[in-house]
Amino acid sequence: MKKIVIRVVVSVVILILLLGLLELGLRVTGYFYSLNRANSALLVGDDSIIREEEGKNKKLSTKEDSSILCLGDSYTYAGNVPYGETYPSNLQKILTDRDSSKKYSVINGGVCEYNSKQVLVRLPSLIKKYKPDTVILLVGSSDRFNLAGYNFHEGGIKGLIRNLRIYKMFKIVMLNLKAKTLVQKVKDYRKLSIQERQESAFGVDGYTLTQTKDSIVGNYFDKMKSIDSYSEGQPLIEKAWYHYNKGERQKAISICEKALETNPNSIEIMCDLAHFYYYIFDKIDLDPPFFNYDEERVQQAMTLYNKALQTGFGSETVLAHLAFFYLDVGQSYLCYNKVDSAVQFFCKIMELDITNYVPYYLVARAYKFQSKYDADYIIKVFQKMEKNNPKLKKNKLFIKYLAFFKNQEEWERKIDKKMQKHLNSIIELCQKRDIKVVIQNYPYPYVTANNILKDTATKNFLPFVDNHSVFKGLVMEAGRSAYFIDDEHCTPKGYQTMAENICNVFIKKHIID
């Protein structure tokens, strides 16, 4: 018995020593690997990835010259437009046109997807190189997905284990094995016939694939928008869509209004007519933008959708129409109260059908794109749903999404706290060198980042450029596509507006004469 105990102890000691050597080896390898990547991947001074040299900016020698350094991410870099149409380039033109007796040098120090930590680390080298009089800061929207330079150490035994290289290696191996298993399942699923797929309990997302009301609505619109011919005998509603697809919106509305007189309780006709009221064209690209914000049209559509909701007694189909309508209005015209309504309707769909995965996904997507909501808001909505429907406590889909948002809430707090710290360090670094700092927010409603930027400017008594408020008003007048492209970055007109906003603050705060 004693020999067995000795053998077990020796085996455990040897195993610990081997794991210790493996841990040491992994750390040494990681150290040298990180050294090779530090300058290029993390933060420091690789001018090949930035745009400052594209404009051939150099510090001018006369005393009257003013050097302005623009710091930030892709909104500053603006790789979606030529260099001459970026906001730093526009700002230099505006300042020079105002006073041709002075020479301004506006440096584009933006790097796509840079976070606040990366900007902070790179700032000293830029200050040394360009000796700016003023720094314009716009950063933070990337902090929630780009964690380069961030270091979150957990305390206790749990944190110690998670920071072990062996644990991380094991986790990577398990994730790869799991991914291969899922890929094989997907391949097997794709080999099934349509009938077999419908009978299968496996879906790509790991849940049973069902024909939900949301997907029915999506399929309906796909079908109707593809109608390019009409003959007598087809349903009247298809005739309306035929004319709508040709761009004859008013004719489509007239057909639907007459059809509604015959069938006043048809929720399908109500929803289609509401769609025609609000959307001018879905398929035709026009210049200027395909539709402008019109409160009367929005109210017309809203009234009809609500009538359909009352007539259908909470129909999931109508709820889906309403949810997508409010989401579109909210995102297209930056109206937070409309996005709020969309989230509420998606949650109602969840309550009616807890197995419907589409609204879960859409709420998560709205959250991901930095809408009005943080994770805490979504958690409260889910907890209210759980209270009203005890069955949700046993629903795997609901439980996983709730856990997802709870983890996000903890992560968000850490990120926001770090971002505030980085911004304050940037300001302190500039002020020690007598460099003026101007903070601006994003034109697009990246709400969390915008709030932190504004709070930082207020607490440090710094000039603040409120791009978002200006753009919100402009979008209401001219439409989203006049100022934003599909990936939420600015059009040339948008970058020109940003430069004008900055110049106005420069004048108001006497940063320039």
> For the segment 286-337, what is each residue's pLDDT rounded down to a tens digit?
333 334 456 677 788 888 888 888 887 667 777 777 777 776 766 665 555 5
Q: Which two tokens stand for residue 311?
A: 């007539």
Range list of β-strands (E), 392-509: 436-440, 464-465
Helix (H) or strand (E) segment spanning residue 419: helix 396-432
Query: What is the reported pLDDT for 274?
Result: 85
> pLDDT band at 343, cuts 50/70/90?
low
Among 75, 73, 74, 68, residue whose Cα is nearest residue 443: 75
Q: Which two tokens stand for residue 84?
A: 């001459």
Torsion-angle region of 237 (φ positive above 0: left; ψ -120 to 50: alpha; else: beta): alpha
> pLDDT band at 160, cuts 50/70/90?
low
Q: Which two tokens stand for residue 86?
A: 């970026």
> pLDDT band at 14, cuts 50/70/90?
confident
Q: Are 51 and 77 in contact (CB under 8 A)?
A: yes
The pLDDT > 90 percentage for the chain reads: 26
Residue 395 has a CB neighbour count (10 Å cut-off) of 16
Among 276, 211, 289, residue whose Cα is nearest residue 250: 276
Instruction: Delineate the domains of the chain, giving CATH numbers in brackets.
Output: 48-144+415-508 (3.40.50.1110), 192-369 (1.25.40.10)
Residue 192 has a CB neighbour count (10 Å cut-off) of 13
For the chain, the average pLDDT equals 76
Round to the nearest angstrom and report the end-to-end CA distance of the chain: 91
Residue 378 pLDDT exceeds 50: yes
- Higher pLDDT pick, 400 / 154: 400
Interatomic CA distance for residues 274 and 280, integer angstroms: 11
Predicted TM-score (pTM) of the model is 0.59
Q: Which two tokens stand for residue 280?
A: 């001018």
- Higher pLDDT pick, 128 / 402: 128
Interatomic CA distance for residues 430 and 437, integer angstroms: 7
Q: Are 350 and 359 in contact (CB under 8 A)?
A: yes
pLDDT digits (tens, 9 = 90+) for 402-424: 777 777 777 778 888 999 999 99
